[in-house]
Chain A
Amino acid sequence: MSADTASRAEAVVRAIPRAPARRAGPRRPWGALAIFLGPTLLLYFAFAIYPVLVTFYNSVHSLRMDLGMLYEFVGLDHFREILTSDEVFWKAAANSLTWGLVAPLIDIPLALGLALTLHARVPFAKVFRTVWFTPVLMSYPVVGVIWLWVYNYDWGMANLVLRAVGLGGYAQAWLASPATALPALILVTTWMFAGFNMVVLLAAIHAIPADYLDAARVDGAGAARRILHVLVPLLRPTLVNLAILDFIGKMKQFALVWVMTRGGPMWGTETVATYVVKRAFEWKTLDLGYPSAVAVLWFVIIFGLSYVFTRLLQRREALEF
């Protein structure tokens, strides 16, 4: 390198404006942060984090209230028993998993159909939107009682309709057999949440620029192709999120089962959540350790499956309209 070149390089370096010395940022208002966040964090810790930690702790202990709340460390014994010899747990897990997998397959397409119907501005769309959304506003106990009436063998609407249309032979006690009880409950949650999913999807559809659909129409795509090849791909992130939320919700199903069947008949509608409550508070042992282990195991399963489904179904590329 010649001296000339070196001096020119030095000149260039000098010409580059120096970065200003790193200035200390404004001081964080720790006092205000503590005042505003402290109570919330405290409540969150007390009512969310602490119970979870205690549940994990209890899961490796035997904790019997009738023995004066004495803790006895049992290691992984509870988990071993659950996995190797607890038939009811496996039935409950199978029911919950069935519910978790089947419900989104019914709920989401149905909600999409309803949302598209409203998007097409059918007559009385506002009325339909209100009617379809109303069940979401009701609590599980109310919905449970209503559907107990619907499924009543003698005078329930389900059997009355069947008898009225000459299909009385198919009338049955819907909640009396494991073969029909679980599907009957799945139908109830579908009825209950179709409106919520519909509203979310309707908002997502409205957010899609009309240009895309217009362009497809100009290219000669019919309604079905516009839905399948334009709308659905653009709605994919929303559909996946709804499906995963639906899956998680159904895997935790408790209240509806408790009101309608309490897990019967013959464990035909037993879910893991109802089983945990029964083991914790209805068995004479009052042992909180074993049900805690069931709860921990189920938490891990739901967490794992949700993660897997998210990885499998979510596309990495961001969609921009």
Chain B
Amino acid sequence: MRRTTIGVLAATLILALGTLGSAQAAQLQWWSHWAVEDSKKAVLFEAKRRFEAKHPGHTVEITFYEKKNMWPALRAAFTAGSGFPDVFYYDNDVPEFMAAGWLADLSQGIRWESIEPYGKAFWTRPGPAGKIGTWAIPVEAASDEVYFNKKLFRELGIAVPANFAFTQDQFKDVVAKCAKAGYAAFATGAADREWAAMYIPDMLLLSKLGYGDVQKLYRGDLTWKDPRVVDVFRYYKELVDLGAYAKTLTSMQLAEAHRYFHTEQKACMFPVGSWYTGRAFVPPEKGGQPAGFELGLLNYPLMKDGKGHGEKMLGVAGSLAVAAKSPNLPLAIEVANAFADVEIGNMWMAKTGIQTGIKTDPGRIDSPIKWYFDEFAKVNRTSKWVDLTAQQVKLLMKPGVWEVYVATVNQGLPNRLIGADEALAKLEEARLKGK
């Protein structure tokens, strides 16, 4: 009897310890964009590996999405209060997540000394009920660039100026030459990105108004009827009418736009974030640019009497956030913290060729795409970086104005559905009504 009792007690103890052990071992869920970008995934898997090595027994499962499909899933899960991941990709597309209180405040628990100050500052914003917090780790930083096909430029007799920036008239000639030869000037696909066709008008506005006034314009403090803005829109409409965009603009997706530019070579230029490299610098069979493709970079066109010549947009892009209501919050913050490491920053740069908000040690970066870093540095040696990108414009605009900006600048103007004045009238009306 006594033996039996001892046996039962021992079995109970073993069972209890087992249960305790399994309760302590957590499997964290991580949802990430970049499903088709192997170079970025390599860095993510390295951060996961480091976290798991540092926290034995705990594991992380990464589920990859295209972010267009991830946002609705996240919205639904957070609204329902269940089914959301512990850690997830985050960027400027959904600024409302911060205000809704769905993101954990990361001001504590992260090695911020390993993050660039501008990156931390970018995500330090008002959250729910105006409470200031730091809501994400700035993994990716990107500038808005105009890439071009050197071979096509050569064939069309287009010479790039020494400062890599065409004047307003020269740029119009470039667009005209491309269109006349049967190429689209810009390889833009707006089917799955509501800001894809905004790059050129945003660049022209920055060049004309300068950073200060362009911010005022987007915030609603400057009228869309400002003569300088009218000039930019009318000039942009001329480019569109010359045939700047492909007729597939509306049905072409971002991934297709990449192929359209570097594989099919049907467009002279590709205005896009410098995260271009994440998709392009992978093997061609995975959607990367073909070997031998001659990639070049340009600076923004110089608008007549512009106040923003030489200014260039740079901002935080793909980041990492933690769910405020994660049942594994301290561990989830540790996953994010795995990115706050110079070695991870170096690896990101070496693998992807994209800027990062993580601190790096350039002397220790060994990358097969060094030629790209050199080209980038050459073109941007005099660039004056301003904290803004085409994707970030949404952050500045009042509710309702962005939607009109999307309809007019991402759809109406490039598809030649409306004129410059009509677009400006709609934007001004939205500005005045904006809440």
Q: Which residues of A contact B (CB under 8 A)?
A: 65-68, 85, 88, 148, 151-154, 156, 172-173, 175-178, 261, 264-267, 278, 281-286
Contact = CB atoms under 8 A, between A and B. Distances in A.
B250 A66 contact: no
B399 interface: yes
A178 B251 CA distance: 14
Contact of A175 (B129, B251, B402, B412): B251
Contacts of A65: 96, 99-101
Nearest to A176: B250
A234 to B, nearest CB: 45
B411 interface: yes
22 contacts: A88-B403, A152-B248, A152-B251, A156-B251, A175-B250, A176-B249, A176-B250, A176-B251, A176-B415, A178-B417, A264-B411, A265-B412, A265-B415, A266-B411, A266-B418, A267-B407, A282-B403, A283-B403, A284-B96, A285-B399, A285-B435, A286-B100
B57 interface: no
Contacts of A148: 191, 251
B290 interface: no
Contacts of B251: 148, 151-153, 156, 173, 175-176
Contacts of B250: 173, 175-176, 261, 264-265
A286 B99 contact: yes
A68 B128 contact: yes
B247 A286 contact: no
Given A151-B251, A152-B251, A154-B248, 11 more contacts: A68-B128, A173-B248, A173-B415, A264-B411, A267-B407, A283-B96, A283-B403, A284-B95, A284-B394, A284-B399, A284-B402
Q: Which bracket fits the contact residues of B?
A: 20 to 34
Interface in B219-272: 246-251
B237 to A, nearest CB: 15
B304 interface: no
Given A65-B100, A264-B411, A284-B95, A177 B247 contact: no
B400 interface: yes
Most buried by A among B72, B99, B250: B250
A278 B402 CA distance: 12
Contacts of B54: none
Leading 7 A-B pairs by shortest Cβ distance: A66-B99, A176-B250, A265-B411, A285-B399, A65-B100, A284-B399, A153-B247
Contact of A286 (B96, B400, B403, B417): B96
A283 B400 contact: yes
B247 A173 contact: yes
Contact of B75 (A154, A177, A281): A281
Nearest to B95: A284
Given A283-B400, A284-B95, A66 B247 contact: no
Contacts of A175: 250-251
Contacts of A264: 250, 407, 411
A158 B394 CA distance: 36
Given A153-B248, A177-B417, A66 B411 contact: no
A183 to B, nearest CB: 15
A156 B433 CA distance: 40
Interface string B98-142: 011100000000000000000000000000110000000000000
B128 A66 contact: yes
